[in-house]
Amino acid sequence: MEQRTEISTLGEFGLIEHLTKNNEIKHASTIYSIGDDAAIIDHFGKQTVITTDMLIEGIHFDLMYTPLKHLGYKSVVVNVSDIYAMNATPVQITIAIAFSNRFSVEALDEFYEGVYSACEKYNVDLIGGDTTTSQKGFIISVTAIGEVTPDKYVTRSRAKKGDLLCVSGDLGGAFLGLTLLEREKKIFLETKGVQPDLENQDYIIGRILKPEARKDIIEFFAANELMPTSMIDVSDGLSSEVLHICKQSKVGCILYEEKIPVNDLTRQFAYKLELDPTACALSGGEDYELVFTIAQSDYTKMVLNEQLSVIGYITDREEGTNLITKGGNKYQLTAQGWNAFNK
Chain residues binding ligand ADP by CB under 6 A are 16, 19-20, 34-37, 95, 97, 126, 128-131
Nearer to ligand ADP, 94 or 229 (CB): 94
Nearer to ligand ADP, 35 or 58 (CB): 35
d(CA 89, CA 77): 13
The string of DSSP codes covering 63-84 is: TTT--HHHHHHHHHHHHHHHHH
Q: Which residues, including other chains, have CB under 8 Å from residue 143's CB and lie 6 or more apart?
A: 50, 51, 52, 79, 93, 94, 95
319 Cα distance to chain centroid = 30
Instruction: Choose from ligand ADP, Mg ion, none: what does 16 bind? Cβ within 5-8 Å by kind.
Output: ligand ADP
Q: How do beta strands 164-168 and 125-133 pair?
A: unpaired
Q: Whole-number minimum distance, CB 126 to ligand ADP, in Å?
A: 6
Q: Which residues, including other chains, have CB under 8 Å from residue 262's CB and lie 6 or more apart?
A: 170, 171, 172, 173, 270, 277, 278, 280, 281
Is residue 106 a contact residue for Mg ion (CB under 5 A)? no
Q: Whole-number minimum distance, CB 16 to ligand ADP, in Å?
A: 5
How many of the other CB atoms lie within 10 Å of CB of 343? 10
Q: Whole-number minimum distance, CB 53 to ligand ADP, in Å?
A: 16
Q: Which amino acid is at 92?
A: Q
Is residue 42 a contact residue for Mg ion (CB under 5 A)? no
Q: Whole-number minimum distance, CB 138 to ligand ADP, in Å?
A: 12
Instruction: Choose from ligand ADP, Mg ion, none: what does 128 bind? Cβ within 5-8 Å by kind.
Output: ligand ADP
Nearer to Mg ion, 133 or 200 (CB): 133
Q: Whole-number minimum distance, CB 108 to ligand ADP, in Å?
A: 8
Dihedral (Cα; 119, 124, 130, 136), 10-degree rounding: -40
Q: How do beta strands 230-233 and 89-99 pair?
A: unpaired
Instruction: Choose from Mg ion, ligand ADP, none: what does 266 bind? Cβ within 5-8 Å by kind.
Output: none
Nearer to Mg ion, 50 or 63 (CB): 50
Measured at CB, which residue is nearest to ligand ADP?
128
Q: How many CA atoms lie within 13 A of 309 on its CB side?
A: 17
Please, which residues bridge with residue 145 across strands? 50, 92
Q: Whole-number minimum distance, CB 21 to ligand ADP, in Å?
A: 11
Q: Under a CB-based contact definition with an 8 Å cutoff, are residues 235 and 78 in contact? A: yes
Binding mask 110-149 for Mg ion (x = CB under 5 A): --------------------x-------------------
Nearer to ligand ADP, 10 or 16 (CB): 16
